[in-house]
């Protein structure tokens, strides 16, 4: 959303707004933040007679890290079934218009052999369960992307395609990598980008840089520029931070501020395997971006208390198209806390913390509200 013509149009809109005695951006309050003027120029070309308001709810979950304890528990006589693990959280995933997940252990399928840490490979059946639960898009860019080589990446990409689930951050060609992934709902277009800090020391195969998107400032800036020209909202997935740290590092804050300043509207962070409190980032153009630094583990075999906790981040995006142009607001950030319950490496299920343990809920609720004090936590 940062180009010269946009600036000129933005300036024009501001002048007109002041003349008419009202400004398109109301002063942001704590839960509803004013956003950048949309780059959707077409709305200015054909005047709109009345104000049109549309909204989309976006949900996101963190790491799906399918350790052997998890896939062994899902084993059936004919394959795997992860559905029972998602049963209690299913409605909360399906309710959102668009739901994102971090597919950390690659969906390479059992034909090449399922495997666990440190070199993961996950059965296709997890994809079936994600489809059933309303997941629309996954990030494939993380430190385990290259665990099982090119074959696993090809299998995963083909399987996501077969399921009709979009994927970002890992591609099979330069062309694929350069095509911005978008989802349009209720007249609002979202673009998705995804990057990782690294791949556990595994080098990208020669001549195939598109296999995994690494965090690179110039690349991020140019991708955001292209994404902004094709969408109303830029959602960026960042696999970053220090494992098991419950607060964002200075490095995470720097990357998030950079991406936000370049035009990322919503940042979905993951990798630390524990929850980190979200925050609003103030941009120099007066807009604010929302960053979830770490969404925690949504499903994994990790046992430690905080590594069992994750959740479903939520936000409402509102688009207002009127005589004075188009504005986008990021509203009502929220978080539903979840816990991976299991005993003796069996009966894995993702359960809402609120119903599971009130004391834990109070503690985590306070943690998540560290920066956004009126964050809605349930």
Residue with smaller CB distance to Zn ion, 40 or 143: 143
Which of 36, 270 has the CB closer to Zn ion?
A: 270
Q: Residue 149 to residues 19, 57, 333: CA-CA distances in angstroms?
A: 60, 35, 37
Residue of the chain from 36, 177, 271, 334 that contacts Zn ion (CB under 5 A)? 271
For the bound state, the minimum distance from the C-beta of residue 239 to Zn ion, rounded and expressed in Å, comes to 6
- Nearer to Zn ion among residue 123 and residue 296 (C-beta): 296
Q: Which residue is nearest to Zn ion (CB)?
A: 271
Q: How far is the CB of 232 from Zn ion (least distance, A)?
A: 30
Residues 273-292 that bind Zn ion (CB under 5 A): none
Q: Alpha-carbon distance 331 to 212, whole Å?
A: 31
Given the structure tokens 């693990």, which residue do they identify?
85
Look up residue 306 and give its two tokens.
């905080």
Structure tokens that stand for 244 in this block: 């098991």
Among the residue ranges 22-30, 40-48, 139-147, 342-350, the one whose residues contact Zn ion (CB under 5 A): 139-147
Residue 161's Cβ-count burial label (10 Å; 0-12, 13-18, 19+) is exposed
Task: Give me the least distance between CB of 104 and Zn ion, in Å please.
Answer: 6
Binding piece for Zn ion, criterion CB under 5 A, among 50-58, 71-79, 141-149, 282-290: 141-149
Distance in Å, CB of 29 to Zn ion, minimum: 35
Interface segment toward Zn ion; rule CB under 5 A; list 134-142, 220-228, 280-288, 360-368:
134-142
> Least separation, in Å, of the C-beta of 141 and Zn ion?
10
91: exposed, middle or buried (Cβ count in 10 Å: 0-12, 13-18, 19+): exposed
CB of 24 or CB of 193, closer to Zn ion: 193
Query: Does 102 engage in binding with Zn ion (CB under 5 A)?
Result: no
For residues 228 to 267, the per-residue mask of contacts with Zn ion, x marking binding by CB under 5 A and - elsewhere, is ----------------------------------------
Q: How many residues bind Zn ion (CB under 5 A)?
A: 3
Residue 139 or 143 having the CB closest to Zn ion: 143
**Residue 314: which of 293, 296, 331, 339 has the closest Cα?**
331
Phi-psi region of 85 (alpha: psi -120 to 50; beta: other; left: phi over 0): alpha
Tokens (6 digits) for 87:
């049963």
Please report how close the Cβ of residue 241 comes to Zn ion at its closest, in angstroms: 9
Which range, of 52-60, 223-231, 269-277, 355-363, touches Zn ion by CB under 5 A?
A: 269-277
Q: Residue 180: count other Cβ atoms within 10 Å of its Cβ.
A: 17
Q: Which helix (H) or strand (E) holds 181?
A: strand 181-185
| Pick 120 or 361: Cβ nearer Zn ion | 120
Determine whether 370 is exposed, middle or buried from the number of CB atoms within 10 Å of its CB (0-12, 13-18, 19+).
Answer: middle
CB contact at 8 A, 198 and 240: no
By the 8 A CB rule, do 188 and 178 touch? Answer: no
Q: 143, 145, 155, 297: which one contacts Zn ion (CB under 5 A)? A: 143
Rounded to a whole number of angstroms, the minimum distance from the CB of residue 308 to Zn ion is: 16
* ∠ CA 90-93-312, rounded to 5°: 115
By C-beta, is 24 or 274 nearer to Zn ion?
A: 274
User: Nearer Cβ to Zn ion, position 143 or 321?
Assistant: 143
Find the Cα–Cα–Cα–Cα dihedral 256, 262, 267, 272, rounded to 10°.
-30
Cβ of residue 328: shortest distance to Zn ion, in angstroms? 30
Which stretch, 4-12, 225-233, 270-278, 327-335, contacts Zn ion (CB under 5 A)?
270-278
Pairing, β 376-377 against β 325-343:
parallel
- Cα 377 to Cα 44: distance, rounded to the nearest angstrom: 38
Nearer residue to Zn ion within complex by CB, 35 or 273:
273
How many residues in the chain? 378
How near is the Cβ of 269 to Zn ion at its closest, in Å?
A: 11
Report the distance separating Cα 294 and Cα 272, nearest Å. Answer: 6
Q: Which is nearer to Zn ion, 57 or 143 (CB)?
A: 143
Query: Which residues bind to Zn ion, rule: CB under 5 A?
Result: 142-143, 271
């Amino acid at each position: 959303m940062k180009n010269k013509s946009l600036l000129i149009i933005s300036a024009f809109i501001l002048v007109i707004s002041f003349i008419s005695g009202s400004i398109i951006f109301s002063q942001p309050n704590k839960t509803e933040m004013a956003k950048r003027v949309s780059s959707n120029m077409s709305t200015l070309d054909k005047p709109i007679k009345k104000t049109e308001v549309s909204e989309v709810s976006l949900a996101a979950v963190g790491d799906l890290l399918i350790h052997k304890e998890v896939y062994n528990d899902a084993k059936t006589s004919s394959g795997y079934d992860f559905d029972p693990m998602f049963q209690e959280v299913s409605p909360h995933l399906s309710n959102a218009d668009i739901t994102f997940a971090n597919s950390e252990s690659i969906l390479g399928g059992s034909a090449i052999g399922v495997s666990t840490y440190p070199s993961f490979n996950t059965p296709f059946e997890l994809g079936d369960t994600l489809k059933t639960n309303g997941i629309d898009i996954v990030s494939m860019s993380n430190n385990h992307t290259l665990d099982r080589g090119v074959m696993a990446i090809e299998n995963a990409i083909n399987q996501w395609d077969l399921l009709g689930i979009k994927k970002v951050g890992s591609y099979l060609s330069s062309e694929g990598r350069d095509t911005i992934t978008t989802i349009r709902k209720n007249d609002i277009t979202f673009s998705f980008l995804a990057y990782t800090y690294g791949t556990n020391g595994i080098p990208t195969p020669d001549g195939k840089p598109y296999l995994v998107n690494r965090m690179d400032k110039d690349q991020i800036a140019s991708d955001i520029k292209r994404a902004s020209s094709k969408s109303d909202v830029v959602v960026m997935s960042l696999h970053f931070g220090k494992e098991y740290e419950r607060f964002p590092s200075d490095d995470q804050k720097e990357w998030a501020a950079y991406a936000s300043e370049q035009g990322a509207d919503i940042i979905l962070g993951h990798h630390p395997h524990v929850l980190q409190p979200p925050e609003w980032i103030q941009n120099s153009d007066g807009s604010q971006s929302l960053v979830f630094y770490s969404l925690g583990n949504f499903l994994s075999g990790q046992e430690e208390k905080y590594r069992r906790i994750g959740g479903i981040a939520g936000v409402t995006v509102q688009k207002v198209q009127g005589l004075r142009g188009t504005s986008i607001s990021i509203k009502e950030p929220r978080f539903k806390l979840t816990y991976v319950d299991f005993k003796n490496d069996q009966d894995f299920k993702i359960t809402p913390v609120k119903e599971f343990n009130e004391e834990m809920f109070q503690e985590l609720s306070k943690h998540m509200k560290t920066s956004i004090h009126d964050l809605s936590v349930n």
